[in-house]
Structures are given as C-alpha cells and as structure tokens.
C-alpha cells in the first residue's frame, strides 16, 4: 500500500480517472493523504482512500458501490473540496469516492467479473472474488471508523433521505438524528449490506439515498447532502463553523406501490408529500387513478413515464407508529417481474 500526498489541483477517484479543480491563491488548505489499495491490477480495481486529518473521531464516507449514478460520487467530490479548503480538522475524515471501480466505469449494478453486488457481500473475504476482496478492504476501514456514511443514488426520483437500522440500534438512531435530512427510513436489514453488518458490529452507520439517473448528476441533491454531511461534522466538532440543529422524522420501512395496468403514468402528488390510504397519487392516462394503500410520506415516485402492469411507481415511508402497532407493513413487497414484450 502506497501513501502519498494529494496534489493541489486534482484527485483520482479510481486508477483511471482524475478530477481537476483549483483553489484560490493564498487559501489555507488541508492536504489529505491517499492510501491506494490495489484489489485487482488486471481490471483496474484500485481503491483510493483519501484521509483528511489524523485524529479521532474518524468519519468514513464512501460512494459508488455500483455504476447506476454519479450523483453520490459528486457529493463526495464536494465534501472533499470543502475539507481541502480548511486550515485544520479536529479528528479525521476518510473519503472513498468510488468503492467499486469497474462497475462504476461500466455503468453496471454488479461486477461483470463475478456477478456480485458489492453491497451484499460484507464483511467480505480476503481470499474471495474481486467483489468480496473489495468489500474486505472497505470493511477494514469501516471497522476502525467512529461513524460511517454510505452515499447512494436511488433508481427512482426521490427526496434525499436516510436509510438506517434506527429501530434496532440506539447508536445508529443517535447518528441519524444528527443528519439534517427530513426522513429517516427503517432499513430492511438485509445481511451482507454494509449498513447492516456495521450496525450489528456496533458501528454508527447510515446510508443516504439521493436522486440521480444513470450517468447523470443531480447537482441540487448533491449540494443538499453535502451540506447535511458538513453540518454533521460541525456537530461532532471535526470541522469549524456554526452548526444547525438537525430535525428529522423516524419512519418505518419503505412500501412499494405497483400499477395493475399499462399506459402513461402521470404523478399528481409531490415528493415528500404526506398521503393517507386511498389518496390519489397519480393516474394512468385514460384508464384509472392510482391510490395509495398506505399512510406515509412519498419518498420516491416515477416522473411521467410509460408503465407496464406490475411496475413500481412509488415508495411510501409508512409512519413508524403504525408499524409498531402491528399493521401489516413490516416487510417490503418484492418488486414484481416487469411484464413487457
């Protein structure tokens, strides 16, 4: 493993890509150190861990576990730019902008080398496949961190929200309550996911999901999440500046709403809007209204699009009190197979 100082005007997000930027003359700058970990040289699977500061507490921020969007990577880039412009950091922040280099370059969800998704094989295996070895290297860093933030982009237009095992672990709930995003959704707790395994291991960990289509960057979402992360670092005393009090709502798991017909779907509610059972949330043109079977906040929803029978068109974050009362909303519905010809 080689450790080197980052140059003044660029940083590498994987073994191929360099992002350029410049800072003003005479500005104070924190120069991070880079730990470049070669997982598989033949495929260019090199992880670049950028560490700002050297003390505790340490926050690990990682993005791009797949190649479905670049919004989460851009958020990491914005966080790094902010940190690099500081004159000091009390603690440390480690950023892994691209956690899964090959799928990110190819725009794929799973690795073509072993057909595995990175966020399903933690804590990984030092002698396993490329994806398992990648997870193992990330886990070595996550297990030493005081806080872990996993950035990801949703497959559907969504409000930026936190996904965490807040019902299961107080250390996770305490961390989530200090992130200034409006909704904290209960995680499904699937084994092999970084947020699940780290929470089980006693590490405060959250995922932040934001909107972002394949290969595109939603700058507004990236800036919003960047501000939430910087505010968290201020709350923890890691970076200077006045923090704002975080306020969010704890919810249950996301519930999927699917259509039972085909046609042009037109949404009639806004992202983040709170709906009740039987409220109309959209319509399939000239056919029928789509009503919500759940109470809760609209976390994600299709924009106007052509849909087929069985397609998911929205996700609702059900009120936590309803799930605690035993209503049948505790398990996410499986996404039906898309019927198309």
Q: What's the pLDDT band for 185 if we cut at 50, 70, 90? A: very high
pLDDT at position 192: 97
Residue 35 scores a pLDDT above 80 = yes
Would you state the pLDDT for residue 31?
A: 87
322 pLDDT higher than 60: no
CB atoms under 10 Å from CB of 163, counted, come to: 25
Q: Rounded to two decimals, what is the model's pTM? A: 0.86
Domains and CATH numbers, the chain: 2-235 (3.40.630.10), 256-324 (2.40.50.100)
Residue 62 confidence class, pLDDT cut points 50, 70, 90: very high
pLDDT value, residue 43: 85
Q: Please report the pLDDT score of residue 25 as a whole number.
A: 47
List, in order, residues 6 or more apart from 41 with CB less than 8 Å away: none
What is the per-residue pLDDT across 255-276, written as a single tens digit (0 to 9) for each? 999 999 999 999 999 999 999 9
Quickly state the pLDDT bin for 19 (edges 50, 70, 90).
Answer: very low
């Amino acid at each position: 493993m080689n450790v080197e100082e980052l140059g003044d005007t660029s940083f590498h997000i994987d073994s191929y890509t360099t992002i350029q930027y410049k800072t003003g003359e005479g500005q104070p700058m924190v120069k991070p150190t880079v730990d470049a970990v070669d997982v598989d040289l033949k495929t260019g699977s090199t992880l670049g861990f950028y560490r700002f500061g050297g003390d505790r507490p340490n926050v690990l921020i990682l993005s791009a576990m797949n190649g479905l969007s670049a919004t989460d990577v851009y958020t990491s880039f914005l966080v790094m730019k902010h940190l690099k412009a500081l004159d000091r950091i009390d603690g440390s922040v480690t950023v892994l902008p691209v956690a899964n280099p090959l799928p990110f370059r190819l725009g794929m969800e799973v690795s073509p080398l072993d057909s595995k998704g990175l966020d399903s094989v933690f804590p990984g295996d030092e002698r396993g496949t490329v994806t398992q070895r990648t997870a193992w290297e990330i886990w070595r860093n996550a297990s030493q961190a005081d806080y872990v933030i996993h950035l990801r982009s949703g497959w559907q237009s969504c409000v930026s929200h936190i996904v965490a095992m807040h019902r299961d672990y107080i250390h996770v709930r305490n961390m989530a309550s200090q992130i200034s995003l409006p909704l904290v959704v209960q995680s499904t707790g699937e084994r092999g996911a970084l947020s699940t395994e780290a929470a089980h291991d006693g590490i405060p960990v959250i995922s932040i999901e934001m909107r972002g289509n394949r290969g595109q960057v939603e700058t507004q979402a990236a800036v919003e999440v960047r501000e939430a992360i910087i505010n968290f670092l201020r709350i923890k005393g890691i970076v200077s500046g006045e923090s704002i009090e975080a306020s969010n709502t704890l919810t249950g798991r996301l519930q999927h709403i699917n259509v039972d017909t085909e046609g042009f779907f037109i949404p009639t509610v806004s992202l983040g809007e709170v709906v009740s059972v039987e409220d109309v949330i959209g319509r399939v043109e000239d056919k029928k209204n789509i009503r919500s079977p759940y109470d809760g906040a609209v976390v994600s929803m299709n924009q106007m699009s052509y849909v087929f029978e069985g397609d998911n068109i929205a996700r609702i974050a059900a009120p936590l009190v309803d799930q605690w009362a035993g209503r049948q909303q505790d398990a996410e519905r499986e996404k039906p197979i898309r019927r198309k010809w």
